[in-house]
Chain A
């Protein structure tokens, strides 16, 4: 299985300040079709996960543009340009290139 790691696992943030989460995979996530199937999810307390970013850098419909994804190969980053109160929760990266699909352990984002 492809192991996904995230850092940090806990991220205290200040409203209005930027935040960044790193995700690394144990092997390249480039699929045979040339796409890289790396997604980012947000899970607010008591809610189902919500996809924010697909294929590294594509924002899902309705996702604020303060969220951005970048990276390639095995190293990926989720950035929040200016943190808002509603951004508190757990963020997961997930690879859908190799079966079984696997998630990172999650990064808990809390407001200071």
Chain B
């Protein structure tokens, strides 16, 4: 069964940092683009970042460029989102997803507040 499990969310102060992780199973991880998508509770979806299979090509939404960094470890079947200089507007549920949204994790909530 294809599965994605996110972790690492929590409460962080403005300007702080957090690292999200997503563990993949049930498919050949190193063959697929991986992405992070976020959703403010009760609101719509925003595609945050994606990463090609070998990790050499990364794309970011303008709203997070320079502050969030996507990376992966194919040996560990995992993708990460390093979040720095966090702002209140980064508060959202963050989902890990495979390819063009084929599979989604359960999401992890990031709350940026003092």
Contacts and interface: CB of A to CB of B under 8 A. Distances in A.
B95 A49 contact: yes
Interface string A90-101: 001010100111
B46 interface: yes
A96 B104 contact: no
B87 to A, nearest CB: 18
Interface in B62-114: 62, 95, 100-102, 104-107
Given A39-B101, A49-B104, A51-B102, A100 B44 contact: no
A45 B102 CA distance: 19
Contacts of B62: 100
Interface string B46-74: 11001000000001111000000000000
A100 B106 contact: no
A41 B59 contact: no
A67 interface: no
A22 B112 CA distance: 35
Contact of A101 (B47, B106, B107): B47
A51 B101 contact: yes
Given A49-B95, A100-B59, A92 B100 contact: no
Contacts of A41: 45, 101
29 contacts: A39-B100, A39-B101, A41-B45, A41-B101, A48-B104, A48-B106, A49-B95, A49-B101, A49-B104, A50-B104, A51-B100, A51-B101, A51-B102, A54-B101, A54-B102, A92-B44, A92-B45, A94-B45, A94-B47, A96-B101, A99-B59, A100-B60, A100-B62, A101-B47, A101-B50, A102-B47, A103-B44, A103-B46, A103-B47
Interface of B: 37, 44-47, 50, 59-62, 95, 100-102, 104-107
Interface of A: 37, 39, 41, 48-51, 54, 60, 92, 94, 96, 99-106
